[in-house]
Structure 1
Amino acid sequence: MSLKEAYKQKAEAELELAHARLVEFKAKAKSYTADTRLKYAKHVDELEHRIDSAKAGLKDLGEAGEDAWEKVKDGMENALGSLREAVRNTADKFRE
């Protein structure tokens, strides 16, 4: 397995985990009152946006050639870092 493919699999796994957490947050929010759901909607929307950005980066990574993927990797690292932060922030808000 190439380094690119290994990295792509790692990024896909992280993306799947973030998506699972998003589903969890949405399910949890359904049990809240309308006012409380609105309070958390901003955080859930931000997490969805970060997931979409990471998906786009993953697509770019998959399309990059073996010699160009390292350049795309930096952007993917930034997207995954933002995604991790959004998951943490959303989880923190749901604990409050």
Structure 2
Amino acid sequence: MSDKELYQQKIQAEFDASKAQIDKFKAEASGASADAQIEMHKQIKQLEEKMDEGKSKLAELVDASEEKFEEMKKGVESIWQSTKSTLHHASKHFGK
């Protein structure tokens, strides 16, 4: 397996774990007070936007040649770091 394929698997696993966390947040938000739901839904929306951006970059990476892979890897890393940061920030609002 190439470095590119291994990296894609790693990022996909991170994406899947983040998606599962967002799903937990959604379930928690449904049981919260109205005011709390508003804030929680804002956080969830932010996370989903980051996830969409990450999915887009991952798709670009999948389509990239081996030569372009190293160049694109930095951009993907940047987006995933931002996504993780947003997820961590949201976790504080959700009490996790």
- Give 5+ residue unaligned stretches, structure 1: none
Matched, 1:40 2:45: no
Alignment of 1:1-96 (within 5 A): 1-95=1-95
Q: Distance in 1 between matches of 2:88 and 2:69?
A: 28
- State the number of aligned residues: 96
Q: Distance in 1 between matches of 2:18 and 2:39?
A: 20
Q: CA deviation at 1:94?
A: 0.8
TM-score, normalised to structure 1, is 0.96
SS, match of residue 44 in structure 2 = helix
Q: For residues 42-72 of structure 1, what are the alpha-carbon distances to aligned partners after superposition, in whole Å with 9 as ceiling and x for unaligned?
A: 1111111111111001000000001111111
Q: Distance in 1 between matches of 2:93 and 2:2?
A: 39
SS, match of residue 67 in structure 2 = coil
- Give 5+ residue unaligned stretches, structure 2: none
Q: Distance in 1 between matches of 2:40 and 2:20?
A: 17
RMSD, matched Cα: 1.1
Q: Distance in 1 between matches of 2:13 and 2:61?
A: 14
* Runs ≥4 residues deviating over 6 A: none
Q: Distance in 2 between matches of 1:42 and 1:31?
A: 16
Q: Distance in 2 between matches of 1:82 and 1:52?
A: 12
Q: CA deviation at 1:86?
A: 1.0
Identity over the aligned pairs, expressed in percent?
32
Q: Distance in 2 between matches of 1:31 and 1:61?
A: 38
